[in-house]
Amino acid sequence: MLSLLIAATVLIFFASVAWYHIFPAVSFLVPIVVGGLLLRWKPLATLTAVALIGAFAAAAMETERSGFATGRIATVAIVVLVALLQLYMARINRSELPAPLGQHMLAELRDRLLAQGHVPELPAGWRAEQQIRSAGGTSYAGDFVVADLSPDGRRLELILVDLWGKGVEAGTKSLQVAGALGGLIGSLPPLGLVAAANDYLLRQRWNDGFATAAYVIIDLATGRYSIVNAGHPPALRWCSRTNLWRVDEATGMALGVTSRPEFSPSEGVLEPGEALMLYTDGVVETRHRDIAGGIAWLQDTAREAIRQGFPGAAGRVLDRVPTRDDDRALLMVERLSAR
């Protein structure tokens, strides 16, 4: 690619010498800009040097033929400025990849994260839906889901994680942590998994590397479930007898804070017509409302949302969150009523 672009630069030089009024010095920006998209820093620096030499030489030869012109000097200055900006952007690109390739790689990692968090199609009698929205409106967030359905379709495991930070700031870390959890889920018992996740975060030695998580395991044949809570807002359970969202009692410490966190799991059975809801603090916590008040608000809001049915309820709840300055995630799992 470098050879092709240098050859193109040479052709532009000869065309500029012959017909400067058609191919002025600004024409040399074409290989520089294309090189910025396709080349790494060192090859781009070589191409830029060749292009600048060509631009100066062509402008100088035209000056000898037709005399001095202020506009020609300004054109060369613009070429130099753009070339330096291209070199600077390539130099600070820590991925060491051309910009399109770096963006493609990051987008592919994001897509893998989203695919890993997609709840698989559940057996008859069960339904799940999730919504994740970033504080910045991008597709990168510190909130993410990791899901796994056992090969026999009986055991569903879900982890909703809220990594410290928000938006793109936490997005790169969430990609890394989600990959680690994706390798653990389905392979360890519940307390073993959260302990391994805690050790993983401690090994990263991030100054802001703590996370909260809610981990749910459901036996889809019987409806029996267990919840491990790692510093996360408590799960809510929809009780079909009372038509209320009840607060789950599982408690525990956040991950990545201490080497020996303590957890008090909870257990229960989802009857037909009942559901579990997991969410992050961005849904319930605002500057003007503490988390207890936010949970009460969520109980009322979610009760109103499911009056139209569980499908789409997660989105309807998030639509009513008053503030959008934090990542927000909500996950619902429903055991369908017997017909």
Q: Is the same domain home to 175 and 256? A: yes
Q: Is the same domain home to 82 and 118? A: no
Judge whether 306 and 320 are in contact, CB under 8 Å: no
Residues (pLDDT < 70) of the chain are 92-107, 109-117, 136-141, 165-172, 338-339
- What pLDDT does residue 32 have? 87
Q: Is the same domain home to 134 and 28? A: no
Q: Is the same domain home to 283 and 193? A: yes
- What pLDDT does residue 244 have? 92
CA nearest to 83, candidates 108, 46, 136: 46
Q: What's the CATH number where 299 sits?
A: 3.60.40.10
Q: Is the same domain home to 42 and 172? A: no
Q: What are the angstrom distances between the C-alpha of 302 and each of 216, 237, 336?
A: 20, 11, 17
Q: Is the same domain home to 77 and 161? A: no
- What pLDDT does residue 155 have? 94
- The Cα–Cα gap between 42 and 96 comes to 10
- What pLDDT does residue 59 have? 82
Q: Is the same domain home to 220 and 156? A: yes
- What pLDDT does residue 297 have? 93
Judge whether 87 and 48 are in contact, CB under 8 Å: yes
Q: Which of these three, 44, 70, 93, is where a domain ends?
A: 93
Q: Is the same domain home to 88 and 112? A: no
Report the number of distinct structural domains present in the chain.
2
Q: Which of these three, 28, 62, 93, is where a domain ends?
A: 93
Q: Is the same domain home to 215 and 257? A: yes
Q: Which of these three, 72, 93, 114, is where a domain ends?
A: 93
CA nearest to 158, candidates 247, 225, 249, 254: 225
Q: Is the same domain home to 245 and 139? A: yes
Q: Is the same domain home to 58 and 113? A: no
Q: Is the same domain home to 213 and 80? A: no
Judge whether 285 and 296 are in contact, CB under 8 Å: no
- What pLDDT does residue 102 have? 61
Judge whether 118 and 151 are in contact, CB under 8 Å: no
- What pLDDT does residue 288 have? 77
Domain membership of residue 253 as a residue range: 102-335
